[in-house]
Structure 1
Amino acid sequence: MEEKRVIFFSKNCLDLGAPNVEMKKFLDGESYVRIPALPQIATEQEVTLFHRAYPEQDSSLIQLFLMLKTLKRQTDNISAVIPYLPYARQDKMVLEGEAKSSEYVCNLLAECGLCELISFDVHFLKQKGTYRYGNLRIKNISLDEGLVKYFSKKCINPLIISPDKGASYMVSDKGGIAMEKKRKAYAQSELAIRRVSMMKTDADMKGRDVIIIDDMIAGGGTMIKAVELCRKKGAKRIFCGATHGLFLKDCAKKIIGAGAQEVISSNSIPSEYSKINLMDSIRGLL
């Protein structure tokens, strides 16, 4: 009797499962993809593909498109676990003529045959659950419980905070609060950066342990400002966690330097700071 679900792992998910998709590069750098077990997939079978689309997100997305289109030759029932969804931060058009990258990427995934995207704390959704974004159904799983549980073992009666309202869903059901944050206009440079201009909170945290939770840490500017504000307001100890740790330009050390006791993330993007295993939150779905 054939299994109802077939699971494929790309080679960049080696820590999540044994790779069974061939991925190589041609001499000119273009991607080569082969799925050896493709002929054995029955048309009615469910297929789940694990693939990391970061780092090198442009080429990793191309690889994903190729894998999905290849699988679609055999079945129409395809889901994909993409731990960190790139291009998720460009979900609003701030300036005239900007690309709404998050929607375009999701629509391309749907066009390639993806029925459901399973991901973690997707930046533009700002809530847990299953939603349709563009033409794609997305199951957004939050790792907030794991992050808070990790730190709670080290804290006494901690105050749980998100550094802005976008991540407030990660703390609101735990009695947590969200800071207020404003950003500056885009910097006049080749990098698309909007730095934090203001951050505030009315929370009383004097003498208390504080846990700051966010969906991602990229350049670290938001988390550094949040840590500095907590220090000014008299927090005893400050712990920082994010689902996705990009940690650009060694910013985790800068967050520690700003006054944090510890910085952690999940293994959506593997690093020395990965303390939360995303597979613990997804086993039941498979």
Structure 2
Amino acid sequence: MILNLDSKFNPTTNQQTIDFESFVFAGGEPHIKIKSDLTDLKSVIISTRIRSFNDIGMLLVAVDALRRAKVNNLELILPYFPGARQDRVASSGEALTAKVYADLINAQNFDTVTIFDAHSDVSPALINNCVNLDNSDFIRTVIEDIDEELTLIAPDSGASKKIHHLAEKLAITDVIECSKSRNPDTRELSEFKVYADDLAGKPCLVVDDICDGGRTFIGIAKALKKKNAGKIYLAVSHGIFSWGFDELNKYFEKIFCTDSFQTLEETNCLKQIPLTF
């Protein structure tokens, strides 16, 4: 059976769902009550999407409720791992946020923790019994939807580490790396570079794991156009889109994401591809 803590996210099709009710007390404390009969049930999958620290709290109380119901084996599906971008201490006084979340997850003693397209190798290394699924099936679906011969674009050094492995799995030979500079104090981005001389009107697919505000992708799209790129598409595994889509839509023919972080309404410019595990 599966306990889907986010009612809009159901990543399995072959599991009976566990009925429950949950709420947050006036003091801010999350609470849950399992309503399904779990008698003699030994194994449960929990799925959730974490967008706030309260979502972590709900996960923790859910684990406690299941343990008290004598469920021995728990698996977690957590496609977007929170804090993954803060996977190193860049300057004095910062927290190692990825480890904070990993420690909370590890304390629950899950048999497996399945995440999707980890930001770097750090999070999977910090999480006990971690299964990190890559983005190849997602990108394959994106390419089929676009139905053009595409050049894959890695927008920065982090994406470059993964894109050649992706291209090999998808039998794509046309891959271009890009780079940017970031001021560690102000977080401002600059010096976007595309390591190609002339793209000759080729359609390009920019691939990365996370889109938050989108500044990296806007900067790279401008740089690609200076190198004579054709249509530019964007595919991100985890769509946060904290600045919305108005600016992104000026530069990208279409944006693709999964439902790992949130459920979005599709438009002519946005397609969301649901994850299944």
Q: Within 2, Cα distance between the matches of 1:108 and 1:66?
A: 12
TM-score under structure 1 normalisation?
0.82
Matched residue, 1:166: 158
Matched residue, 2:77: 81
Q: 1:27-47 CA deviation, whole Å, 9 max, x = no partner?
A: 2232111223464244xx332
Given candidates 213, 218, 240, the residue that maps to 1:219 is 213
Q: Within 2, Cα distance between the matches of 1:116 and 1:90?
A: 23
CA contact (8 A) 1:265 1:276 kept: yes
The one-letter code matched in structure 1 to 2:22 is M
Equivalent position SS for 1:91: coil
1:247–1:275 Cα change, 3 Å: same
Matched residue, 1:195: 188
Given candidates 7, 16, 24, the residue that maps to 1:12 is 7
Matched residue, 1:72: 67
Matched residue, 1:58: 53
CA contact (8 A) 2:83 2:97 kept: yes
Q: How many residues of Structure 1 are paired with residues of Structure 2 in the alignment?
A: 259
Where does 1:1-150 land on structure 2 (aligned, <5 Å)? 6-16=1-11, 20-37=19-36, 39-42=38-41, 45-54=42-51, 57-73=52-68, 74-125=70-121, 132-150=124-142
Between 110-119 and 98-107, report the one with greater CA deviation.
110-119
Given candidates 266, 274, 277, the residue that maps to 2:274 is 277
Matched residue, 2:255: 263
Matched residue, 2:227: 233
Identical amino acids, percent of aligned pairs: 23
Q: Whose RCO is larger (CA < 8 A, sep 6+)?
A: 2
The one-letter code matched in structure 1 to 2:203 is D
